[in-house]
C-alpha cells in the first residue's frame, strides 16, 4: 500500500493533468478565542494541514458540513486571511502582491443579496474592478461591461447594466457577482456556496454557468458546498472536509459511488435520495467536535462506527484506495498490530448494507 | 367569493358536512392576498388541500410560491398585510378555521394543531431555560396540571426527541442548532396534537442532523399517529419522507399526487422541471437543464398559466386561459395543466406510468440486481401502492 499525499491524488483526473494554477501546501488556520475556562490562550483549529491543487480548467469541490472549515479554506485561498502555517502558491511560486493576486484569484460569495451594494447599479459594480485594476479606458468601459454581462448570460446587457440589485432575482444577482469576479480576467474562481441561497429551479443554471466558464475560459474553479449531490454533478474532483481536515478526495463519481472514508459514507447515507429503495440508516451519529479541543488522533473517531484503538491515538495519513482516490483512515492502512486494530467500542448492529468501508480497495 | 372554477366549495358550505372522518384539515378555495384593493398581491389563489389522519403531506415550492402563506392562513397566524379573501379550511369536518373566533382557535391551537417553524433560534426565548418554556406551554393549556406533573412531562418530552432530561435547565444558546430544532418539535408535541405543521423544519441544519431529526420525527409519527404538513423547497427530500405531495407555483397548487407518483411520474411540467433540478447521487453524470427563467413576480403575473413563460410544452391556450386543477387517475391525483385535459397528446415525460419502477426496460433486459419480479404489480392498478419503502 503506497501512501501518497492527497494533492497528488488529483493529478490523474485534473482535466488535463497540467501544472496546477493554485496550490495550497499544508494550510493551517487557528483563530484565537478568549480564554476558555482557564485554558489560557485557546484557539479554534479551523483548518488543519490542508494540501490541495486547483488545475487549469478543472473544478474541485470542497464538501463539508457547517463548521468543517470549508469557507475558511476558501478565504485562505483568496488571501483574505493569513494562514497560521503553510503556504499558497500561484503557478508554483510564492504569491505576488495583494493586488496582483486578487487579479488572478477571485472569490464569489454565498449571498448575492448582501454581496451587492443596494445603492449602486449593476454598471457600477462591474466598473469598479475594471477601474481599480486599471483595466478600463473611458472609451471602452461600456463595451467591457456589456461583454461581462454577456459572459454570464445576462442579456440584453445594456438593460441589466442600468438596473439596481433589488430589481434582479437571486439567480441574476449571483450572475452579476460572478461577472464582477470575472472582470479582472482571473484564472482562479473560488465559489463559496454559490447556489445555496438560490431557488431550486435556478441553481442548475448557475452551476451550468460555472461549468461553461471552465470549458470556455479554462478557469480553475473551487466549488465549496455542503451539497454532495451538486458536487458530484459539477466537479471533477471532490475533497471532503471534516473538522478542518480533508479526509477523502478523488474523482467525483468515484467518491460518491464508492466512498472510502466512514465520514463520507455517513454524509452520503444522510443525503436526500428519492431513489433509495430502503430507508437510509445512518452510519454514525452525533455532531462534529468542538474545534477548540479537537479529538486526538482521527478527528472523526468519536463518531465513527468502525473506530479502532489506533484511531484515538494517531492521525491517519492519506492512503490511496484507487487511482487518484485517497482516504485518510486507518481502515485502509496495512500492518496494524492487533492492539492497534482492537475496536474502540462494540461494533454497530448490522442494520445497514452489507458493504463495509474499505471493501472496495481490494 | 369569485371562484367559479369548481363545485367543491358548495358541498361544504352549510355547517357539519359530508366529511370523511379521516380528513383532518380540508382546505377549499383558499385565497390569500397581501395588501388590499388593486395593489393586492395574490399570494395564494384557490388552493384546495386535504390532510388525512396520520399522513405526511409534503408541500413543495420555491420561495414566493405561497407555501408558507398557506400554512399561516390555515393556522390564522397570518400577519397584516396578509388577508384571507376567500375559501374555507375545515378542521375535522366541522370548525372552519378561517372564520373561527379567538376562543375557538385557542382551543384548537397547540391542542390539535401545532406549528414548528424553520428558525428555532428565533422561536425559542433566549432568556428562559428550556424547562421553563415547556412548563409555560403546559401551564397555559393544561391549567389543572401540578408543578411536579409539568416537570415530569417536560422531561418525558425532551427524552422523546433524544435529548437527555438534564438539559431542561439549559438555555437555548447552550444547545446546538439540531438540538434546538428538536426542542421545537418536542414543544409542538407537548399537548398531543393531531396535526403538526412544519415549515422548513430542517432547512438550516446539516444533512446528518437533518436525517437524524427526520428519522426521529417519523418514528414519533408512527408511535403517536399525528399528521404532518411538511413544507419544504426540497422535493427530493419530500419524495423520501412524505406520503403525498402538493406542489405550489406562484401561489397556485399545480400538482397533487402520492409521493412516489410525483417522483416517478410527474404530470405537471413544473414538477418535472423541479425534479430534474436535483442532481442524482447515482448513475451516470449527465448535463441537466433545470428550469429556464425565474419564478414570476407576483405583482406582475403572466396571463394564463403562470408557468407558461418557462414551460417547454406551452400551448397557445396556456398563454390566455389559466388551467384549473384537473383530476386525473380517477381522482387519485390532480394537475393544473392543459396538457392533461385529454385534448392533446401528452409528451412521454409527462405520461410515465406511475406504478412501475423507472426501469422501463423489457423484462428480458432486467439486470440481475433489480427488484424481484414478484414485487412489481402487473398493471397500473393502484398508483400509490407500490413498495417504495420509507413509509408505513
3-state secondary structure B295-350: CCCCCCCCCCCCCHHHCCCCCHHHHHCCCCCEEEHHHCEEECCHHHCCCCCCCHHH
User: What's the rounded Cα separation, in Å, for the pair A275 and A264?
Assistant: 19
Tell me the nearest-neighbour CA distance from B327 into chain A, angstroms.
25
A226 touches chain B (CB under 8 A): yes
Q: What phi and psi, each to the nearest 5 degrees, are found at residue A147?
A: -65, -40
What pLDDT, on a 0 to 100 scale, did the predictor assign at position A354?
38
Q: Tell whether the model's pLDDT for residue B11 goes beyond 70.
A: no
- Which of A22, A23, A66 minimizes the C-alpha distance to A46? A66
Chain A residue numbers with beta carbons less than 8 Å from the beta carbon of B215 are 282
The mean pLDDT of chain A is 87
| Torsion region of B336: left, alpha or beta (phi above 0 gives left; psi -120 to 50 gives alpha) | beta
A43 touches chain B (CB under 8 A): no
Tell me the nearest-neighbour CA distance from A101 into chain B, angstroms.
33
What pLDDT, on a 0 to 100 scale, did the predictor assign at position B185?
93
pLDDT band at A312 (very low <50, low <70, confident <90, very high): very high
Chain A residue numbers with beta carbons less than 8 Å from the beta carbon of B167 are none
Q: Is residue B41 part of a domain?
A: yes
What pLDDT, on a 0 to 100 scale, did the predictor assign at position B355?
66
Percent of chain B with pLDDT over 70: 85
Task: With beta carbons less than 8 A apart as the criterion, state whether A154 and A174 touch.
Answer: no
Task: With beta carbons less than 8 A apart as the criterion, state whether A177 and A190 touch.
Answer: no
- Say if the Cβ atoms of B208 and A270 lie within 8 Å: yes
Chain B residue numbers with beta carbons less than 8 Å from the beta carbon of A225 are none
User: What's the rounded Cα separation, in Å, for the pair A227 and B181?
Assistant: 21
Q: Is residue B329 part of a domain?
A: yes
User: What's the rounded Cα separation, in Å, for the pair A314 and A297?
Assistant: 4
Q: Is the peptide bond preceding residue A156 cis, with omega within 30 degrees of 0?
A: yes
B369 touches chain A (CB under 8 A): no
Q: Tell whether the model's pLDDT for residue B119 goes beyond 50.
A: yes
Parse chain A into domains and list their residue ranges: 6-33+41-113+186-361
Give B266-305 as a DSSP string. Answer: --SHHHHHHHTTS--SSS--------SS-PPPTTSPPSSS
Tell me the nearest-neighbour CA distance from A305 into chain B, angstroms.
15
- Higher pLDDT: A66 or A280? It is A66
- Say if the Cβ atoms of B294 and A199 lie within 8 Å: yes
What pLDDT, on a 0 to 100 scale, did the predictor assign at position A14?
40
A277 touches chain B (CB under 8 A): yes
Q: Is residue B83 part of a domain?
A: yes
User: What's the rounded Cα separation, in Å, for the pair A128 and B259?
Assistant: 49
Q: Tell whether the model's pLDDT for residue A158 goes beyond 70.
A: yes
| Torsion region of B80: left, alpha or beta (phi above 0 gives left; psi -120 to 50 gives alpha) | beta
Domain of B294: which CATH number? 3.40.50.300
- Say if the Cβ atoms of A199 and B62 lie within 8 Å: yes
What pLDDT, on a 0 to 100 scale, did the predictor assign at position A17?
52
**Nearest-by-CA chain B residue for A287:** B209
A259 touches chain B (CB under 8 A): no
Task: With beta carbons less than 8 A apart as the criterion, state whether B267 and B253 touch.
Answer: no
Q: Tell whether the model's pLDDT for residue A122 goes beyond 80.
A: yes
User: What's the rounded Cα separation, in Å, for the pair A314 and A340?
Assistant: 10
- Which of B27, B220, B227 minimizes the C-alpha distance to B112? B227
Of A152-161, B126-135, B290-299, B380-389, the one with minimum mean pLDDT is B380-389
Q: Is residue B205 part of a domain?
A: no
Chain B residue numbers with beta carbons less than 8 Å from the beta carbon of A233 are 279, 285, 288
Percent of chain B with pLDDT over 90: 66
Tell me the nearest-neighbour CA distance from A296 into chain B, angstroms.
22
Average pLDDT over residues B287-302: 88
Percent of chain A with pLDDT over 70: 89
What is the number of structural domains in chain B? 1
Cell of A236: 471533477
- Which of B55, B14, B56, B7 minimizes the C-alpha distance to B28? B7
Give helix B177-188 / helix B207-224 axis angle, nearest 10°: 20
Of A220-224, A281-285, B208-212, the one with minimum mean pLDDT is A281-285
> Which pLDDT tens digit goes with each residue over A6-46?
443 344 444 445 679 999 999 999 999 876 565 567 899 99
Q: Is residue B319 part of a domain?
A: yes
**Nearest-by-CA chain B residue for A209:** B289
> Which pLDDT tens digit goes with each residue over B32-66?
999 988 889 999 999 999 999 999 999 999 888 99
Please give the helix or strand (H or E) that residue A54 lies within, else none: strand A42-55
* Beta carbons within 10 angstroms of residue A244's beta carbon: 27
**What is A6-33+41-113+186-361's CATH topology?**
Rossmann fold (3.40.50)
Tell me the nearest-neighbour CA distance from A337 into chain B, angstroms.
33
A229 touches chain B (CB under 8 A): yes
Question: CA A341, A344, A347, A352 torsion: positive or negative?
Answer: negative
> Which pLDDT tens digit goes with each residue over B183-207?
999 999 999 999 999 999 988 888 8
Tell me the nearest-neighbour CA distance from B310 into chain A, angstroms.
11
Q: Is residue B209 part of a domain?
A: no
Q: Tell whether the model's pLDDT for residue B373 goes beyond 60.
A: no
User: What's the rounded Cα separation, in Å, for the pair B110 and B137?
Assistant: 9
Nearest to B280 among A205, A229, A252 (CB): A229
> Which pLDDT tens digit goes with each residue over B324-364?
999 999 889 999 999 999 899 999 999 988 765 444 434 33
pLDDT band at A138 (very low <50, low <70, confident <90, very high): confident
Nearest to B278 among A172, A229, A287 (CB): A229
Q: Tell whether the model's pLDDT for residue A214 goes beyond 70.
A: yes
A257 touches chain B (CB under 8 A): yes
Chain length of chain A: 362
What pLDDT, on a 0 to 100 scale, did the predictor assign at position A94?
86
Nearest to A274 among B208, B236, B277 (CB): B236
Domain residues for the domain of B268 are 15-54+61-112+245-278+289-351
Tell me the nearest-neighbour CA distance from B116 into chain A, angstroms.
21
B322 touches chain A (CB under 8 A): no
What pLDDT, on a 0 to 100 scale, did the predictor assign at position B203?
84
Task: With beta carbons less than 8 A apart as the criterion, state whether A202 and B294 touch.
Answer: yes
Q: Tell whether the model's pLDDT for residue A4 goes beyond 50.
A: no
B210 touches chain A (CB under 8 A): yes
Q: Is residue B35 part of a domain?
A: yes
What pLDDT, on a 0 to 100 scale, did the predictor assign at position A78?
94
User: How many residue pairs bridge chain A and chain B with CB atoms within 8 Å of each other?
Assistant: 115
The mean pLDDT of chain B is 84
What pLDDT, on a 0 to 100 scale, did the predictor assign at position A287?
82
Of A250-259, A301-310, B363-372, the one with minimum mean pLDDT is B363-372
- Say if the Cβ atoms of B237 and A226 lie within 8 Å: no
Question: CA A333, A337, A339, A343 torsion: positive or negative?
Answer: positive
User: What's the rounded Cα separation, in Å, for the pair B338 and B344?
Assistant: 8
pLDDT band at A212 (very low <50, low <70, confident <90, very high): very high
- Which of B105, B242, B123, B241 minimizes the C-alpha distance to B185? B123
Q: Tell whether the model's pLDDT for residue B385 goes beyond 70.
A: no
Tell me the nearest-neighbour CA distance from B105 into chain A, angstroms.
34
Contacts for A336 with CB less than 8 Å, ≥ 6 apart = A308, A310, A330
Average pLDDT over residues A177-198: 94
Q: Is residue B202 part of a domain?
A: no
* Beta carbons within 10 angstroms of residue A8's beta carbon: 14
Amino acid at each position: 500500500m503506497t501512501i501518497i499525499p492527497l494533492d497528488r491524488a488529483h493529478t490523474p483526473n485534473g482535466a488535463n493533468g497540467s501544472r496546477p494554477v493554485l496550490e495550497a501546501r499544508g494550510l493551517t488556520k487557528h483563530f484565537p478565542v478568549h480564554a476558555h475556562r482557564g485554558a489560557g490562550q485557546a484557539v479554534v483549529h479551523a483548518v488543519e494541514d490542508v494540501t490541495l491543487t486547483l488545475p487549469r480548467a478543472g473544478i474541485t469541490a470542497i464538501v463539508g458540513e457547517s463548521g468543517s472549515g470549508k469557507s475558511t479554506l476558501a478565504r485562505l485561498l483568496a488571501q483574505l486571511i493569513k494562514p497560521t502555517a503553510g503556504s499558497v502558491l500561484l503557478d508554483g511560486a510564492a504569491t505576488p502582491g495583494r493586488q496582483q493576486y486578487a487579479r488572478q484569484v477571485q472569490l464569489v460569495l454565498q449571498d448575492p443579496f448582501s454581496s451587492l451594494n443596494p445603492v449602486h447599479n449593476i454598471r457600477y459594480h462591474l466598473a469598479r474592478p475594471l477601474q481599480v485594476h486599471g483595466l478600463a479606458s473611458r472609451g471602452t468601459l461600456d463595451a467591457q461591461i456589456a461583454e461581462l454581462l454577456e459572459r454570464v448570460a445576462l442579456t440584453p446587457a445594456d438593460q441589466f447594466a442600468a438596473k439596481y440589485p433589488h430589481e434582479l432575482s437571486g439567480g441574476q444577482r449571483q450572475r452579476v457577482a460572478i461577472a464582477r469576479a470575472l472582470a479582472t480576467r482571473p484564472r482562479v474562481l473560488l465559489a463559496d456556496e454559490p447556489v445555496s441561497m438560490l431557488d431550486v429551479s435556478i441553481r442548475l443554471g448557475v452551476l451550468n454557468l460555472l461549468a461553461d466558464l471552465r470549458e470556455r475560459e479554462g478557469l480553475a474553479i473551487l466549488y465549496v458546498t455542503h451539497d454532495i449531490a451538486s458536487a458530484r454533478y459539477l466537479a471533477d474532483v471532490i475533497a471532503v472536509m471534516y473538522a478542518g481536515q480533508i479526509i477523502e478526495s478523488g474523482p467525483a463519481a468515484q467518491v460518491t459511488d464508492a466512498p472510502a472514508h466512514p465520514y463520507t459514507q455517513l454524509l452520503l447515507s444522510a443525503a436526500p435520495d428519492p431513489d433509495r429503495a430502503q430507508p437510509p440508516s445512518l452510519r454514525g451519529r452525533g455532531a462534529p467536535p468542538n474545534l477548540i479541543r479537537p479529538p486526538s488522533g482521527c478527528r472523526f473517531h468519536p463518531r465513527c462506527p468502525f473506530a479502532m484503538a489506533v484511531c484515538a491515538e494517531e492521525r491517519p495519513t492519506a492512503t490511496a484506495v484507487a487511482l487518484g482516490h485517497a482516504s485518510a483512515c486507518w481502515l485502509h492502512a496495512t500492518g496494524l498490530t492487533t492492539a492497534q486494530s482492537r475496536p474502540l467500542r462494540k461494533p454497530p448492529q448490522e442494520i445497514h448494507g452489507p458493504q463495509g468501508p474499505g471493501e472496495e480497495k481490494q | 367569493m369569485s371562484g367559479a372554477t369548481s363545485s367543491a366549495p358548495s358541498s361544504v358550505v352549510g355547517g357539519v358536512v359530508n366529511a370523511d372522518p379521516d380528513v383532518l384539515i380540508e382546505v377549499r378555495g383558499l385565497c390569500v392576498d397581501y395588501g388590499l384593493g388593486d395593489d393586492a398581491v395574490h399570494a395564494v389563489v384557490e388552493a384546495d388541500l386535504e390532510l388525512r389522519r396520520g399522513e405526511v403531506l409534503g408541500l413543495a415550492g420555491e420561495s414566493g410560491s405561497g407555501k408558507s402563506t398557506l400554512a399561516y392562513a390555515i393556522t390564522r397566524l397570518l400577519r397584516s398585510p396578509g388577508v384571507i379573501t376567500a375559501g374555507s379550511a375545515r378542521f375535522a369536518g366541522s370548525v372552519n378555521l378561517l372564520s373561527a373566533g379567538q376562543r375557538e382557535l385557542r382551543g384548537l391551537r397547540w391542542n390539535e394543531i401545532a406549528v414548528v417553524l424553520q428558525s428555532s433560534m428565533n422561536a425559542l426565548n433566549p432568556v428562559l431555560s428550556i424547562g421553563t418554556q415547556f412548563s409555560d406551554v403546559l401551564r397555559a393549556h393544561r391549567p389543572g396540571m401540578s408543578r411536579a406533573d409539568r416537570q415530569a412531562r417536560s422531561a418525558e418530552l425532551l427524552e422523546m426527541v433524544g435529548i437527555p432530561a438534564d438539559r431542561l435547565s439549559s438555555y437555548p444558546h447552550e444547545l446546538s442548532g439540531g438540538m434546538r430544532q428538536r426542542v421545537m418539535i418536542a414543544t409542538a408535541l407537548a399537548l398531543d396534537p393531531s396535526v403538526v405543521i412544519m415549515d422548513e423544519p430542517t432547512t438550516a441544519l446539516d444533512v446528518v442532523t437533518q436525517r437524524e431529526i427526520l428519522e426521529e420525527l417519523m418514528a414519533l409519527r408512527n408511535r403517536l399517529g399525528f399528521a404532518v404538513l411538511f413544507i419544504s423547497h426540497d422535493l427530493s427530500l419530500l419524495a423520501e419522507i412524505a406520503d403525498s405531495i402538493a406542489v405550489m407555483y406562484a401561489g397556485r397548487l399545480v400538482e397533487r399526487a402520492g409521493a412516489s407518483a410525483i417522483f416517478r411520474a410527474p404530470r405537471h411540467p413544473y414538477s418535472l422541471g423541479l425534479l430534474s433540478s436535483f442532481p442524482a447521487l447515482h448513475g451516470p453524470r449527465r448535463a441537466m437543464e433545470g428550469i429556464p427563467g425565474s419564478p414570476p413576480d407576483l405583482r406582475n403575473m403572466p396571463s394564463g398559466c403562470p408557468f407558461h413563460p418557462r414551460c417547454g410544452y406551452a400551448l397557445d391556450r396556456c398563454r390566455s386561459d389559466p388551467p384549473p386543477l384537473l383530476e386525473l387517475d380517477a381522482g387519485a391525483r390532480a394537475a393544473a395543466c392543459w396538457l392533461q385535459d385529454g385534448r392533446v397528446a401528452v409528451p412521454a415525460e409527462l405520461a410515465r406510468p406511475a406504478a412501475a419502477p423507472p426501469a422501463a426496460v423489457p423484462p428480458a433486459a432486467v439486470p440481475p440486481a433489480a427488484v424481484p419480479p414478484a414485487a412489481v404489480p402487473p398493471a397500473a392498478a393502484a398508483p400509490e401502492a407500490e413498495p417504495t419503502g420509507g413509509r408505513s
